[in-house]
Structure 1
Amino acid sequence: MKKHILIFVVRWVLNSFGLWIAFRLLGTGIQNVEVTAGMGGFLLAGLIFSIINSVFKPLAVILSLPAILLSLGLFVIIVNGVLVYVSIALTPGFSMSFLNSILTGIILSLINYIVSAAVEIRGGTSGAHYDH
């Protein structure tokens, strides 16, 4: 149980960091991204996104499975964008267009992929294990 809580907290911090990066990248020159909250706002947004992602993403993927199959998996990007859009809409002081939510979902996916790959390499869980 402690391991699951630790993983959730790490994902929460990573999602908060990813949202901060996305708002910094998309906030320059794009009018429809607004942030009036500080770092605490990013932590709250990351927490809301982490909870929504943990609870609703499996259900959203199952319900959108036909579209995911027809698009050869590309519709997952839209599902992630919807989850980000809902999370940002629920966070006070934050607003974002749907297109930027899709881009933010891609950024969050890349950050989580990079960190997961780094942890896997560091932990030595990748590759085959042979007993000699």
Structure 2
Amino acid sequence: MRFVVRVAVNAFALWIVTLLPALQVRLIPFAPGEWLQVLLTLLLVGLIFAIVNSVVGTIVKIIAIPLYILTLGLISLIINGFLLWLTGVITENWDWGLRTGEFWLTVVAALLIGIINAVLGGILRPRRDDRARN
């Protein structure tokens, strides 16, 4: 259930970021681009982004532990931008998906996605006492 919530929150955060034209992050839906196709594209890109964060992100973050210590955690901005860029590269093989622009604007987009994920994840994530009752 938590993974489904994470994918939905990722899709919403990606949608918010794609509305900001200054960030050069574009979403290319299936043709002809109706709202259902945009929603499905957002969910698929959110799923790919969640998988990239879970698998590749974990490996990169473990390897970069010395850099986290050295930079007091600021390297996480670069790593999150890299993971968003990697999601764009993965979906670039199809005619739909995420297209990113300049790397530093991608880092800003990843920062906004992280903030939205933290806020909405905290609101929508089931509480520990709720899980104990079920």
What TM-score do you get using the length of structure 2 for normalisation? 0.75
* 86-95 or 73-82: bigger deviation: 86-95
- Give the number of equivalent residue pairs: 116
Structure 1 segments, 4+ long, off by >3 Å, are 122-125
Aligned-pair distance for 1:119? 4.7
Q: What's the counterpart of residue 89 of structure 1?
A: 89
Mind listing any 5+ residue stretches in structure 1 that lack a counterpart?
A: 1-5, 126-132
Give the Cα separation in 2 of the matches to 1:108 and 1:67. Answer: 22
Which runs of structure 2 are paired with 1:47-86 in the superposition (5 Å)? 47-86=47-86
Shift of 1:110: 0.8
- After superposition, give the CA deviation of every residue in 1:59-115 in whole Å (9 maximum; x if it has no partner): 111111122111110001111111111012212333102223212211121112112
Aligned to 1:34: 26
Given the two structures, how large is their TM-score scaled by the length of structure 1?
Answer: 0.76
Quick one: higher RCO (CA 8 Å, sep 6+), 1 or 2? Answer: 2
Q: Percent identity?
A: 30
Question: 1:26-76 deviations in whole A, cap 9, x for unaligned?
Answer: xx245x433321222211110100011111211111111122111110001
User: For residue 14 of structure 1, what is the aligned residue in structure 2?
Assistant: 9
Choose 1 or 2 for highest CA Rg. 1
Indicate if the aligned counterparts of 2:26 and 2:100 stay in contact, CA closer than 8 A: yes
**Residue ranges of structure 2 left out of the alignment (5+ in a row):** 30-37, 130-134
